[in-house]
Structure 1
Amino acid sequence: MKLVLYSKPGCHLCEGLEEKLAALAHLDFDLEIRDITTQAAWFQRYQYEIPVLCRVVETPQGEQEAALPRLSPRAPIARVEQMLQTYLEPDKAK
């Protein structure tokens, strides 16, 4: 599974989620971190919502991003892992 994390420098909420995802490296996912300050469209869309974690889904039209549910910044790593495993399971069934 491929994940995209929309973030920006100096965002402590983004850094916290990134640390939790790094701690879950044993799960089967690739993480791409996108700095919203590098593209106007990303900044316009996510400036008030970061961090935003999206799952990249293959469709007949190409790759599409689907935002995952937003977790509390205080969510423990176990809760983040539980959420990711929910989205990993459909990939494993293929």
Structure 2
Amino acid sequence: MRLILYSKPGCHLCEGLQEKLAAVRQIEIDLEVRDITTRPEWFEAYQYTIPVLCRQIETANGMQEVVLPRLSPRAPVSQLERLLQTAGAAGRAE
């Protein structure tokens, strides 16, 4: 599963989600971390909402990003795995 994490340096919520993603064992993840401070359009879109986790899917029109629901920072890794499994199942149905 290809995921994109919009983040910025020093964001403890972003670091926490990245650590949880690294702990996921039931799903193979290809994670790209994007620093929103490196592109004005990312900063404008996500400055108040990071961390933002997206799943990248291939469609007839090319690659698209689907924003995944935001989990509580206190959510355990098992809840993150369930979210990713649901997102994976939805992606296969499309």
State the TM-score, normalized to the length of structure 1. Answer: 0.91
Q: How well do the aligned residues superpose, as a CA RMSD in angstroms? A: 1.7
Paired position in structure 2 for 1:80: 80
Look up the equivalent residue of 1:21 and give its one-letter code.
L
Structure 1 residue runs of 5 or longer lacking an equivalent are: none
Structure 1 runs of 4+ with >6 Å offset: none
Q: Secondary structure at the match of 1:20?
A: helix
User: 1:35-50 to 2 correspondence within 5 Å?
Assistant: 35-50=35-50
In the alignment, the residues of structure 2 paired with residue 47 and residue 2 of structure 1 have an alpha-carbon distance, to the nearest angstrom, of 22
Report the equivalent of 1:34.
34
1:22 — aligned with what?
A: 22
- The answer for the alignment partner of 1:13 in structure 2 is 13
Aligned residue pairs total 94
The unaligned stretches of length 5 or more in structure 2 are: none
Counterpart for residue 57 of structure 1: 57
Q: Distance in 2 between matches of 1:89 and 1:69?
A: 15
